[in-house]
Amino acid sequence: MKTSWNEIQLADDFLEDHIPPQERLVVEAQLIVNPAFRFSLQLQKKLHALVKSYGRKKIKAEAEVIHQKFFSDPGRKIFQNDIQQLFNNS
């Protein structure tokens, strides 16, 4: 079943705290009395969490490429040895 644009927009605004306090109370009341809306909001929350995990994974992958570059580049031997020494002594 297709979810309406308005419903998704409302869920996004609610999850990202873009709703004024008075309107938020109305939405919170809807969440109590309307299980379908509650489920829809939880679904959107899950979607947000998945998208965030994906974004974080991508940024971490970029950091890992730089890490490999720094620790495999023969031109950075001094950097590599300085770091290695910190952990050899412990």
Partner 1 sequence: MITEIQVDIRNPEERERLFEDLYEETFPVVARMVSRQQGSFQDAKDIFQDALVILYEKSVQQETAAIDSPQAYLIGIAKHLWIRKFKTDYPLLSLDQLEQQITIPEEYFEVHQDTNRLLTLLERSGRKCLELLSAFYYERLSLDLISKRLGFSSSHSTAAQKHKCIDKLRTTIKEKSLHYEDFME
44 near 11, Cβ under 8 Å? yes
8 Å CB contact between 38 and 64? no
Token reading at 9: 């927009």
CB of 28 to partner 1, least distance (A): 16
CB 22, min distance to partner 1, A: 25
Burial of 47 (0-12, 13-18, 19+ CB in 10 A): middle
Tokens coding 82? 């300085």
Q: Which is nearer to partner 1, 22 or 89 (CB)?
A: 89
Q: How far apart are CA 50 and CA 44, in angstroms?
A: 10
Residue 50 binds partner 1 (CB under 8 A): yes
- Using the rule CB under 8 A, is 18 a contact of partner 1? no
Residue from 21, 22, 58, 74 touching partner 1 (CB under 8 A): that is 58
Positions in the binding site for partner 1 (CB under 8 A): 2-3, 5, 8, 39, 42-60, 62-64, 66-67, 69-70, 79, 82-84, 86-87, 89-90
